[in-house]
Amino acid sequence: MSLAPNMLSDMSDPEQKKVPGELIDASVIWLANAIRTKQVSSEEVVRAFLQRIDQVNPKITAVVQLHREAALAAARAADKEAHAKN
């Protein structure tokens, strides 16, 4: 089962960035590899999912409490830590 067709084939091109809509359709395996290989940042992924929550939550009310700033801060910290390791 593939959540994002053709995304795994794109892994060989580190310069190819994904747009937010593609990020939310990607598998967690693809996202982890893309973050690890710096094709996308943790913050970009979090922002894509926050944007999607903003789009659909008013209709379905699935998210009761959203800790937007904490999520972004954690993503920035993860990116900073990953950058420091290289």
- pLDDT, tens digit, for every residue of 5-61? 444 444 444 445 667 789 999 999 999 999 999 999 999 999 999 999 999 999 999
Residues 72/41, Cβ–Cβ less than 8 Å: no
Has residue 1 been placed in a domain? no
Has residue 17 been placed in a domain? yes
Has residue 16 been placed in a domain? yes
In 3D, which of 52, 32, 51 has the Cα closest to residue 42? Answer: 32
Query: Coil, helix or strand for 62?
Result: coil
Q: Which domain holds residue 40?
A: 8-85
Has residue 2 been placed in a domain? no
The whole-angstrom separation of Cα 49 and Cα 71 is 10
User: Whole-model pTM?
Assistant: 0.77
Has residue 40 been placed in a domain? yes
- Total domains present in the chain: 1
DSSP state of 6: T
Has residue 3 been placed in a domain? no
